[in-house]
């Protein structure tokens, strides 16, 4: 791999300014090495592994930062919740009935409450659901 690393690095550097659809995939880099540089003694897995680590390093060297960032979410107890509404179909008194589902989830603990309600007759569907 060593003789081909500068060639691969140059391809990856040029990809920094290329549109996303025109950037080199690992397969394309491997094919170019075989066709244009008559590379011998390398495998696709070797090229793919090198590119997997080197692509991020080249982005950092160019000042582009990491390609992906993980930002952990923190929620204080009792400060945030998620609420949603939706339709559900259940069998109520032997008939398929459309109910409205109220869903409430606390962001801190993940505890959730789901309550289906039949709005046409004003009855909670929770017992049948």
Report domain extents, the chain: 2-61, 81-124
Token code pair at residue 22: 């025109």
pLDDT: which is higher, 61 or 123: 61
Read off the pLDDT of residues 69-109 as tens digits, 9 standing for 90 and up.
778 888 888 888 899 988 888 887 888 888 888 899 998 88
pTM tops 0.85: no
Neighbours of 116 (CB within 10 A): 23
Question: For residue 16, what pLDDT is reported?
Answer: 93
Residue with tokens 């081909």: 4
Residue with tokens 């880099």: 29
Neighbours of 50 (CB within 10 A): 19
The DSSP output letter for 93 is T
Q: How far apart are CA 95 and CA 105, in angstroms?
A: 29
């Amino acid at each position: 791999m060593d003789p081909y690393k500068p060639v691969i690095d140059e391809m990856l550097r040029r990809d920094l300014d290329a549109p996303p659809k025109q950037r080199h995939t690992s397969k394309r880099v491997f094919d170019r090495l075989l066709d244009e540089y008559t590379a011998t003694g390398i495998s696709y897995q070797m090229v793919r592994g090198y590119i997997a680590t080197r692509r991020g390093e080249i982005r950092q060297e160019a000042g582009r930062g990491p390609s992906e960032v993980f930002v952990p979410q923190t929620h204080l107890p009792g400060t945030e919740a998620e609420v949603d509404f939706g339709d559900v179909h259940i069998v109520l008194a032997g008939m398929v009935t459309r109910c409205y589902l109220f869903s409430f989830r606390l962001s801190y603990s993940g505890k959730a409450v789901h309550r289906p309600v039949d709005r046409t007759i004003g009855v909670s569907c929770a017992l049948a659901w």
